[in-house]
Chain A
Amino acid sequence: MAEIKITNARYWRYPLTNEITHIYCNIDNSLEQSFVPIDENNKHYQAIQEWVAEGNTIEEAD
C-alpha cells in the first residue's frame, strides 16, 4: 500500500522563468495545495513517481 496518497497532481510553471519546477497536488487527503519540487530526493516527488507508475497522470501546467 502506498505510504503517501497523491491526488489532483498538476505541473506548476514558475511564472518568473516560465519553467516547470514543481508539481502541485493534494497529499494524504489534505485540502492544502502542496508544491512538490521536481527533485529525486524529495519524498513526495518519489511518491508521485510511484503514483504515475501505477497509471496515474500529472496534468499539464496552466
Chain B
Amino acid sequence: MTKAAELAKMGEVITNGQIGGRRNLIINGAMQVAQRGTSFSGVTASGTFPVDRFLFHVGSLGTWTLSQSTDVPTGQGFAKSIKCDVTTADVSPTGTDYARIDHRFEGQDLQAFCKGTSNAKQFALSFYVKSPKTGTHIVELQDADNTRNISKAYTVSSANTWEKKELIIDADTTGAFDNDNAKSLTIAWWLSAGADYKSGTLATTWGSPTNANRVVGQVNIADSTSNDFYLTGVQLEVGEQVTPFEHRSYGEERQLCYRYYYQMKAATSFMKIGHGRAYSTTDTTATYTVPVPMRANPTGSVSAASDVGTAGLSAGGTTSVNPAAETMDDYSRFAINVTRGGGGYSAGTIYQIESDNNTNMTIKLYAEL
C-alpha cells in the first residue's frame, strides 16, 4: 500500500469512527442511564431528568409524561431514547412559556473549543430526532460565563420519523469558558415557546441574548395530546466535522453520570450503609464512599427518614437523616448523620446504620449543574 493510500485509509477509519475515541463531549448521549426512574407523569415544571444528564425544562406549557423509551432509529446501534409525551396540550403558548430539553457542561470540559480566542473552534452537534411536527425546530447554545447565546434552526422533513440532524455552529472568538467545575454551556433543544421568545429575528450569530430572537420559527410540539417527541444519539464534537456517533458502554456512561447524580437503593432489608460512633443519645454518623468523586458538594436526601435504621435499635425511630453531613474535599466520601429524636443511642458506642426492614431506602446525592 502506498503512503498516500495509507493516509487515505487512515482518514476513512477516523471518519468512520473506528478510532479517534472520546470525540463526544455529551454524557449519556445514547440515553442509556436513567438512575431516577424511567417514566415521570404529570410534569408541568422544571427539574425532571427523564434520563441522566438531560433535564426537561418547562414553564406554563402543557403537561408531559417523560420517559426513557425503546423507540430508536433503526440500524444505528441505539437501544434507548428520551420520549416527551404531551398529556395536556397547550395550543397557543404565550409570553415566556417554554418547553425544552437541556444538556449542561462544566467549563473545564470545554476548553478544547478555545472559545474567546482567535483560534476558537466550531461546535459540531449531531443527534437523532423524531418529532410529531415537520418544519423548523431550534437548538440553542447558551454560554453562562459570558451571557452569550446562539440559535440554530434545523428542519424536520417527515413527521413521526427518525431523522439524523447535523449542525455546525459558529465558533465564538469572544468570551472564554471558565476553566472550572461550574456551568459554562447549555445546549437546549426547544420543543415549544411563547411569543416573547419568537417575535424577532433568529439569533444565528453569537451575542448577548435577546429573548425575542432566541426561538424564532419553532413549531409547537405541545399543541396536541397525540404528540410525542423523541431524542437520542446526541453528540457534540470540537470542530467543523460531524463524525459517526461514539458508542460507549453502559458502565462507562454510568460512571460519568455519577459525577452529577448518584443514588443508592437498598436491594435487601437491613442493607448496611456503614458504621459509626454515636456522639450523643440522639445522633450518630457513619461514612461511605461513592463510586466517583462528585462535581460539587451535593444536596443529600433520603426517600424517608424512617427508611434508615440502626441495628439493634427499634425500627422507625429515625427522625432525620442528612446523607452528606460531612464530606472529603473531592466529594468522594461522605458522613451520613442519623438522628433518633426519641434517643436510644449510647454516646461513644459504635452502631451499624442500615436500611429498615424493607427495600424502600434510597439515598440521593445531587450535584447537577
Contacts and interface: CB of A to CB of B under 8 A. Distances in A.
Given A37-B298, A42-B299, A28 B45 contact: yes
A12 B339 CA distance: 12
A33 interface: yes
Contact of A5 (B45, B285, B369): B45
A3 B47 contact: yes
B366 interface: yes
A47 B184 CA distance: 17
B368 interface: yes
A10 to B, nearest CB: 11
Interface hub of A15, A42, A44 (most chain B Cβ within 10 A)? A15
Interface residues of A, number: 26
Contacts, number: 81
Contact of A14 (B297, B299, B337, B367): B337
Contact of A37 (B47, B299, B303, B339): B299
A1 B327 CA distance: 32
B299 A3 contact: no
Contacts of A33: 301-302, 305, 320
Interface string A27-45: 1111011111101011110
A37 B283 contact: no
B46 interface: yes
A44 B45 contact: no
B60 interface: yes
A42 B302 contact: no
A35 B285 CA distance: 15
Given A16-B325, A16-B337, A43-B369, 10 more contacts: A3-B57, A12-B322, A14-B325, A14-B326, A30-B301, A32-B303, A34-B301, A35-B300, A35-B322, A39-B296
Interface of A: 1, 3-5, 12, 14-16, 21-22, 24, 27-30, 32-37, 39, 41-44
16 contacts: A5-B45, A14-B337, A15-B337, A16-B279, A16-B325, A21-B325, A22-B325, A24-B322, A30-B301, A32-B302, A33-B305, A37-B324, A37-B327, A42-B297, A43-B367, A44-B366
